[in-house]
Copies of this chain bind each other. A is one copy, B any other.
Amino acid sequence: MTVIKAALLGFGTVGKGVYDAVQTHRQELKTLLGAEVEIAGVLIKDVKKERNIEKHVLVTDCFDDILQIPGLDVVFEAIVGEEPGFSYLQRAMEQGCDVVTANKVMFAKHGAQLLDIAREYGVKVGYEATVAGGVPIIRTIAQQLQVNKIGRIQAILNGTSNYILTEMRKRDSEFQEVLQQAQELGYAEADPANDVEGNDAFCKLMILSQLAFGSQPEWKNVQVEGISRITLEQVQAAKEKGLRYKHVAEAIKEGDEIRASVRPVLTSANHPLYSIEGVDNAIVIESSLAGTVTVQGPGAGSGPTASAMLEDMAHIFQGAPATHPEKNRKKAAAYA
């Protein structure tokens, strides 16, 4: 039996999720790929911390050790921030490894460049996990709507802010109160700004724009407004009229121009995102032939994100088709 040798960069929620999923889905991977997937190395920050990792796996805080794993096939990146994620993936690709990333901040900025590097070195980049966790939105756009022209994307791309808005309305609670509970439940980070102020949704929207339209709008021209200033009074007044606040990320292509925004929107029952509740994400795609198609599901979490990363890996090792050379997008190397 062939072995696919993989390394994990990061062993937080996502990294551990991939590690566990490889164990629980060993048989599925074997049948699908005709190969064992072996996690051969894990890059962590603190080598002294106790982790539930099998003894034969190399656990190191030095990326060079990872690159020196003999016959390394694929690198899963699940670390936070532009760097060192980008440099690590670049070096892995230069060495001939395929890469799979969940890093939206890095990919929003360096995605096009990573895809160029992948082309140059004849390797592949999977980035399904950068947007909306287990929801297969990247490949839905890249592979299922290739003939269709996409005109508009409207989406809820951050589960934390959607959870907060949902609970404010359902429980008649103030923003701060719900936020605190979300933090206790693990739905919100200690520093929630990235989620509730829209930066996280912004990064994901830029990745979707690049994919669907072949380019991103100038970042400075994108209106990004968070939900932290929405008051309980506003939520209640809306509720009485049957309306709901939703934190909507939107990108529209008109001619050669792309307009994009992330902002709270007051939705009525016939808005396609009105019924998306709690921590779910959803993406509404307006396309020329298929019409308005919506994909919805868990936007974060260990299992869903691991799902996206392993499905990416499956595509890479099955040799999936090139996607969408039209629209000038610099993404042909993905799954190419």
Contact = CB atoms under 8 A, between A and B. Distances in A.
Given A25-B288, A303-B290, A319-B321, A140 B147 contact: no
Nearest to A308: B290
A287 B307 contact: yes
A297 interface: yes
Contacts of A290: 133-136, 297-298, 303-304, 307-308, 311
Nearest to A290: B134
A301 B289 CA distance: 10
A303 B310 CA distance: 33
Interface string A126-140: 000000011110011
A232 to B, nearest CB: 21
26 contacts: A24-B288, A25-B147, A28-B147, A28-B326, A32-B324, A32-B325, A134-B289, A135-B290, A136-B140, A136-B145, A144-B311, A145-B307, A145-B311, A147-B310, A147-B314, A287-B307, A289-B303, A289-B310, A291-B297, A291-B303, A291-B307, A294-B295, A295-B295, A295-B296, A315-B321, A321-B321
Interface of A: 21, 24-25, 28-29, 31-32, 133-136, 139-140, 143-149, 274-275, 287-298, 301, 303-304, 306-308, 310-311, 314-315, 318-322, 324-326
